[in-house]
Amino acid sequence: MEVMFLGTGAGSPSKTRNTQSMILDLRQEIQELWMMDCGEGCQHQILNTSYTLGKVKRIFITHLHGDHIFGLFGAISSRSFQGGEGSKLFIYGPIGIKKLVDNVLKITGTHLNYPIEIVEVNENDEFNINRFVVKVKPLQHTIKSFGYIICQEEQLGSIKVDALKNIGLKPGPLYKEIKTNNEFTHNGKTYLSKDFMTDSKKGINIAVLGDTMYFDDLITTLRECDIIIMECTYLEGDYATARKYGHIHLNDIRMIQSECQMSACILTHLSNRYNNYDLQRIINDSISTLPYKTYLASDFKKFKFINHK
Amino acid sequence: MEVMFLGTGAGSPSKTRNTQSMILDLRQEIQELWMMDCGEGCQHQILNTSYTLGKVKRIFITHLHGDHIFGLFGAISSRSFQGGEGSKLFIYGPIGIKKLVDNVLKITGTHLNYPIEIVEVNENDEFNINRFVVKVKPLQHTIKSFGYIICQEEQLGSIKVDALKNIGLKPGPLYKEIKTNNEFTHNGKTYLSKDFMTDSKKGINIAVLGDTMYFDDLITTLRECDIIIMECTYLEGDYATARKYGHIHLNDIRMIQSECQMSACILTHLSNRYNNYDLQRIINDSISTLPYKTYLASDFKKFKFINHK
């Protein structure tokens, strides 16, 4: 389970940060690539990665602001020529996205050579996608904005081969049955499967949030998450300004981390006002003092999530 | 009078060519910057030039295909933050562009801090813009596509100061009158203004064409043009394929140049199939044998047009 950021800036692109987009690479788990948001130029960014648009199976849009969606039209259009032919694409986003995409494709005479299904989401919707559940959570921004909580199914433990050999059971078809059934029979004796398997592991839950200001229910949403990927447009400065524009301030991140346990927190959608010198100073002075491991995203930075539980 | 190309590829962006856009710099003539087409990522390209979106006064869209327009929404949105505040923007394009832009801005909650006027153009429309006339000419493509013929007004000659001094007239307010009137009176004698001015110069006419296949009337359109900037998606290969997709083949360029006189021809919208090695070969083998100076555009290449007539 990996993410690569394709755009990590806020509002407009800068020379160093594109507008919002990331790839969630679930190929190891379910052979799917997902894209979270699709700011203008995200198809340009992908050209500099090992991913191709044709392999993207699902695109989740957190909200309809341009810096999160103006790349969608070009990306789905180019997908036709990047291995997407005949391969269905699912697009999830707030109400309005279907009309938006349909209108743009129609007026610009854009023909896709693959089917698309546009799913308009509502708060608290849940989508079962293979071995994941995606939960749609409401945020508070200047327009309707959502967080997607991507919950991996519990990961079954693995077979204790030595223990099975001790009861005279060598690797074979029965091993699969042990994994799926609670008990199994061997040489006329019944065994509990769990005695021959390592403990199952809770899956990883990843929160990918759209733009939002802090609000109390956010804590409830984030409490179940191991990895929190969220905007932090305002890394310093006046807190009231952040709230006025419906964005997160680093003070909010500190508050969230005092209430929620997490493995890591990745901050993106950083205001273009911060140059590299500012960011390093903020990391040294503030980010490094947060309770949990907290990273600032940058374009093309990749994070790999490993389940240690 | 200069142009800088912001995007010179066809269809989808590549690592070396963005989708279509160019800046027409008329600041020396009429203190205006124009943008011709606005493919996705053109606002990213502008960040690497000395231009800013806020200074762009008019955007002309040749046709509504995505590789010519998907950057428009982001560009006009970011213009608010790049010196555009309060500065009116004119957008010209085929019928449908107003609905497209209005819908996208509305659904994405995009608020501009400056007024826009969207002008839907029809074939043979003419717009008088300061000392230029922009003529809208029909092309033949898979959707409605236009060429914009940008015609500079005749350039008045300059005052022959020495000749005026010879009749005893020193520099002063009368000089302005000589430039604007056919005759003038000095010491009771009437003179013809033209005897005291260098010859006027015909203005430069620049054709900027959208996607098109060759058709006979194209010759009529291009006959009055000094600089022809046009697509040439197919620089070699099967001619029928170019026509099938409604595009120009280099054979068409040769035919046009056999029928029209021009100062220079600049080819853009080049298919991504050609790498730099191909292009150099095609320049050596074909482009260099064309009747008129012909250039292949590339991103950030700038051309300056000087009136020698």
Give dist(CA A34, CA A90) in Å, integer: 9
B27-31, B127-131, B155-159: least confident range: B155-159
Output the CATH code of domain A2-155+201-304.
Answer: 3.60.15.10
Contact of B248 with B232, CB cutoff 8 Å: yes
Indicate if the pLDDT at residue A309 is higher than 80: no
Give dist(CA B275, CA A250) in Å, integer: 46
Indicate if the pLDDT at residue A129 is higher than 80: yes
Q: What is the count of residue pairs from A and B with beta carbons less than 8 Å apart?
A: 110
Q: What is the pLDDT of residues A269-278, one digit of tens each?
A: 999 999 999 9
Indicate if the pLDDT at residue A308 is higher than 90: no
Mutation target among A14, A17, A44 for the B interface, most CBs of B within 10 A: A44
Contact of A211 with A62, CB cutoff 8 Å: yes
Q: What is the mean pLDDT of residues A167-186?
A: 89
Helix axes B72-79, B97-107, angle to 10 degrees: 60
Q: Could you give the ipTM of this predicted complex?
A: 0.92
pLDDT confidence band for B54 (50 / 70 / 90): very high
Q: What is the mean pLDDT of residues B162-183?
A: 90
Res B155: pLDDT: 85
pTM here is 0.92
What percent of chain A is predicted at pLDDT more than 90? 92
Give dist(CA A29, CA A132) in Å, integer: 9
* Chain B residue numbers touching A44 (CB-CB < 8 A): 13, 18, 40-41, 44
Q: Identify the contact set of chain B against chain A, taking CB-CB distances under 8 A.
A: 11-15, 18-19, 40-41, 43-44, 47-48, 64-66, 69-71, 73-74, 77-78, 81-82, 96, 99-100, 103-104, 107-110, 142-143
Contact of B28 with B288, CB cutoff 8 Å: no
Contact of A107 with A136, CB cutoff 8 Å: no
Q: What is the pLDDT of residues A184-215, one digit of tens each?
A: 999 999 999 999 999 888 999 999 999 999 99
What percent of chain B is predicted at pLDDT more than 70? 99
Give dist(CA B24, CA B47) in Å, integer: 16
Res B309: pLDDT: 60
Q: What is the pLDDT of residues A51-107, one digit of tens each?
A: 999 999 999 999 999 999 999 999 999 999 999 999 999 999 999 999 999 999 999
Give start-end residues of each CATH 3.60.15.10 domain in chain B.
2-155+201-304
Q: Is B277 exposed, middle or buried (0-12, 13-18, 19+ CB in 10 A)?
A: exposed
Q: What is the pLDDT of residues B71-119, one digit of tens each?
A: 999 999 999 999 999 999 999 999 999 999 999 999 999 999 999 999 9
DSSP string over B186-249: ETTEEEEGGGGBPPPBPPPEEEEE-S----THHHHHHTT-SEEEEE-SBSSS-HHHHHHTT--B
